[in-house]
Each structure stands twice: as C-alpha cells, then as structure tokens.
C-alpha cells in the first residue's frame, strides 16, 4: 500500500439501496432523505446495517449524477417500494481512506486514478464513497470517507 491506496479482491456485498439522480448541490439533502428511508425500513424489518452507509456514483456529471444510495447488509434482504435489494459486485477494487471536507475530495480521486493507470488497471467507471461520520457529528476537517473504485 503506497500513499494509503490499496487494491483488493472483494466478495459481493448485499445492500439495500435507492437509485436516483441529483445535481451535486442537492446531494446533502438527497443522501440524508434516502438514508432515513432505508434506516426506517431496516428498523421495521428488525435488521441493522453491516457497516458504513455508501453512495455509488455511476457517472460524474455534477448536474445529473446517477446515484445508488444505501447500506451494506449481512445477507440479501427484500426491498420495499423504492428501496431495492441489490449488491456491490464481487471484483477488484482500489480504495483509500480520506480525512477532511467533502470539497477536498478531488485530490484523492486524482491520486487514485493516477495509481490505477500506473499499475496497469482500468477504472470501470463506478466510484463508491463510504461515510464513517457526518458533518452533523464532527467538524469538516474530521470527516472520514473511504473512496473505492471498481477496476479491471
């Protein structure tokens, strides 16, 4: 692992998620609302998340982001309404833990893209961000986000 970047083979991870689209300026509200819906559903069915919540970014069009917002779960669970039973596919992933404000995440993304190219891999175009805390809990300088990119 160099510069905090590591590559791992991961098993498929079951999730409950909501697929949606949003402009970057609307992300805080959209993420908060959808996490709330999924947490309410998990409580209703007597389940808990397996680890930190995530957002999958299927594109990087800041005016029309294609998003999957969700929680990893211990086993596949049926969804309800807009909440879908899904999974993060098995495969190779490059990841890095980032500490700091969300506005500063361009550099770790660029560092990871450089690392991917230097090591002969190609990005698959999906980036995941796992949020270990929130701006409502800690100062922006203390935010912890694990950035994960699917590679081939």
Q: How many helices (H) and strands (E) does the chain have?
A: 2, 8
CATH code where residue 58 lies: 3.20.80.10
Of 143, 119, 132, 141, residue with least CA distance to 6: 119
Q: What is the pLDDT of residues 91-129, one digit of tens each?
A: 999 999 999 999 999 999 999 999 999 999 999 999 999
- Residue 96 is predicted with a pLDDT of 97
As for how many domains the chain has, the answer is 1
Round to whole Å and give the CA distance between 5 and 68: 23
Dihedral over alpha carbons 42, 43, 48, 54 (to 10 degrees): 50
Q: What is the pLDDT of residue 3?
A: 74
pLDDT of residue 1: 43
Q: Which residues of the chain have pLDDT under 70?
A: 1-2
Q: Range of 52's domain?
A: 5-151
């Amino acid at each position: 692992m160099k510069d905090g970047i590591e590559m791992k083979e991961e098993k498929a991870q079951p999730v409950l998620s909501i697929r949606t689209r949003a402009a970057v300026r609307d992300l805080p509200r959209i993420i908060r609302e959808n996490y709330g819906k999924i947490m309410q559903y998990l409580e209703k069915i007597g389940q808990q998340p397996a680890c930190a919540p995530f957002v999958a970014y299927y594109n990087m069009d800041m005016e029309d982001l294609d998003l999957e917002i969700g929680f990893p779960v211990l086993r596949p669970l049926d969804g309800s309404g807009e909440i879908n039973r899904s999974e993060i596919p098995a495969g190779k992933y490059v990841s890095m833990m980032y500490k700091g404000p969300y506005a500063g995440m361009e550099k770790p993304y660029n560092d990871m893209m450089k690392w991917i190219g230097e090591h002969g891999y190609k990005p698959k175009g999906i980036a995941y961000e796992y949020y270990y805390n929130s701006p409502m809990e800690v100062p922006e300088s203390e935010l912890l986000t694990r950035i994960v990119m699917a590679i081939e």
